[in-house]
Chain A
């Protein structure tokens, strides 16, 4: 039995893919925004002198980095209702993705904080900068420059992980593919097309990230 791929199933359903892509982007953008806040809070806890805060931050990071995202997702969506916490699949998807991103972001931001050059902070103070000015003019940009590559990688991983939320029927790109697949049985064409869309999205993010890097963090090339 010879199978001939027919990509008309892709061309005829472009709007479905497009909707899926938009939903994926929504989930990812919301999750990354929340995750970044979690990451900053986590890093503050992780670098604080307070033992309790420090312990909570460590537990958070280690637990979520050492368990699969799928299990985390199932736990939030299927497990939490057992405690009376019910959410829609979209909410569970965003929550799981945010918390997962936040755990990695915590470590990234922490590295950024620890990488701040004390000498430069002192130079800022010695020039008469107020603490907020030191943060804004001396600390912020170099720290962002240092953590930027790791953050971009993590954003890419979040995009790839977002496909997993299709498993709790959160609607996004992979879900759209599964839906179409179940109606047409054109699995090869559909999953190939979806893969290409993800690859395009990831490459686009990397390109934008590169341009931003060149525009704002060009100096990082010269830091030994």
Chain B
């Protein structure tokens, strides 16, 4: 487990090497609940992977291991050439490169919209205020919230908050974006505005792992659908295959539930 840091850079930069590589990952929660059972997954640069599966199957837990918000006990996870280990000194260096968008937005309530976006670039990347401001302006423009920049998060609708949250994550110029059910907490009429932003992001070539049950989005944007059940991956397929011809009984059962 201690070896991977010796990898040479040529290999790291090779596009054939996956940017996310999970190999036989096992995780138990403190109460001995076996939540991830030997999961393996590879994601390549520019790929959009949609993770689906019934509630409690471990989707959130799994993607949260990619930025070390959750620890794991067995297997390896290598992000952009760096293995995540329990003893690693600088998790922050990984997290800088991996943006995350949460179901509950989790904007900082005491900062205005633009300050939310500027904070991490300034504090973590050490950018100047004016640099951060101009990037924040661009991103807010891109997610269509620039006219609300001076407001506090509490003054925005859920859909607007989630778009700010995406801009905030993008401001760190991450190599990977993780989305954990970004539209589940939204009223139906706001789902679209968030999915539109995500679709544009995917088209710009961002590597994305999205937990979502938005079938339309998955069909159109995903390169691959991954179905999880009971802490395992039961099926990996292209959207076409997955939605028209699911192979595994758990996939069929899951699809019949969400499509009904």
Partners in one complex: yes
| B169 interface residue per 8 A CB criterion | yes
Chain A, interface size category, equals 20 to 34
B123–A133 CB distance below 8 A: yes
| B154 interface residue per 8 A CB criterion | yes
Q: Which A residues touch B98, using CB under 8 A?
A: 126
| B67 interface residue per 8 A CB criterion | yes
- Decide: A127 near B109, CB < 8 A? Known: A119-B102, A122-B102, A219-B152: no
Q: Which A residues touch B163, using CB under 8 A?
A: none
Q: Which B residues touch A142, using CB under 8 A?
A: 108-110
| Size of B's binding interface in residues, CB under 8 A | 29
| A128 interface residue per 8 A CB criterion | yes
The stretch of B13-21, B88-96, B247-255 in contact with A is: B88-96
| B139 interface residue per 8 A CB criterion | no
Mark interface residues in A129-164 (1 if CB within 8 Å of B CB, else 0).
Answer: 110010001100110010000000000000000000
CB-nearest residue of chain B to A126: B100
Q: Is the interface of B mostly helix, strand, loop or mixed?
A: mixed
Mark interface residues in A104-132 (1 if CB within 8 Å of B CB, else 0).
Answer: 00000000000001011011111111100
Q: Which A residues touch B111, using CB under 8 A?
A: 219
Q: Which A residues touch B120, using CB under 8 A?
A: 127-129
B108–A224 CB distance below 8 A: no
Q: Which B residues touch A1, using CB under 8 A?
A: none
Give the shortest distance, in Å, between B100 (CB) and chain A (any CB): 4
| B155 interface residue per 8 A CB criterion | yes
| A11 interface residue per 8 A CB criterion | no
| B153 interface residue per 8 A CB criterion | yes
Contact of A223 among B99, B123, B154, B169 (CB under 8 A): B154
| B119 interface residue per 8 A CB criterion | yes
Bound CA span A128–B107, Å: 15
| B258 interface residue per 8 A CB criterion | no
CB-nearest residue of chain B to A131: B92
B154–A127 CB distance below 8 A: no
Contact of B69 among A117, A126, A129, A223 (CB under 8 A): A126
| B106 interface residue per 8 A CB criterion | yes
Q: Which of B104, B107, B169, B172 has the most CB of A within 10 A?
A: B104
| B168 interface residue per 8 A CB criterion | yes
Q: Which A residues touch B41, using CB under 8 A?
A: none
Mark interface residues in A56-99 (1 if CB within 8 Å of B CB, else 0).
Answer: 00000000000000000000000000000000000000000000
Q: Which B residues touch A221, using CB under 8 A?
A: 154
Mark interface residues in B116-141 (1 if CB within 8 Å of A CB, else 0).
Answer: 00011001100000000000000000
Contact of A127 among B110, B152, B169 (CB under 8 A): B169
Q: Which B residues touch A120, using CB under 8 A?
A: 106-109
Using a CB-CB cutoff of 8 Å, which residues 177-224 of chain A contact chain B? 217-219, 221-224
A128–B96 CB distance below 8 A: yes
- Decide: A125 near B152, CB < 8 A? Known: A117-B106, A142-B109, A223-B109: no
Bound CA span A217–B100, Å: 27
A122–B172 CB distance below 8 A: no
Bound CA span A117–B108, Å: 10
Give the shortest distance, in Å, between A115 (CB) and chain B (any CB): 11
CB-nearest residue of chain A to B171: A127
B109–A219 CB distance below 8 A: yes
- Decide: A219 near B102, CB < 8 A? Known: A127-B120, A128-B172, A137-B123: no
A126–B95 CB distance below 8 A: yes
A222–B69 CB distance below 8 A: no
Bound CA span A109–B44, Å: 47
Give the shortest distance, in Å, between A42 (CB) and chain B (any CB): 25
Residues of A within 8 A of B (CB): 117, 119-120, 122-130, 133, 137-138, 141-142, 145, 217-219, 221-224
What 8 A-B pairs are tightest by C-beta distance, nearest first?
Answer: A222-B154, A128-B96, A123-B106, A127-B120, A119-B106, A126-B100, A128-B95, A141-B110
- 23 intermolecular pairs with C-beta atoms under 8 Å apart: A120-B106, A120-B109, A122-B106, A123-B102, A123-B165, A125-B67, A126-B67, A126-B95, A126-B98, A126-B99, A127-B95, A127-B99, A127-B120, A128-B96, A129-B92, A130-B92, A133-B123, A137-B108, A137-B119, A138-B108, A142-B108, A223-B154, A224-B154
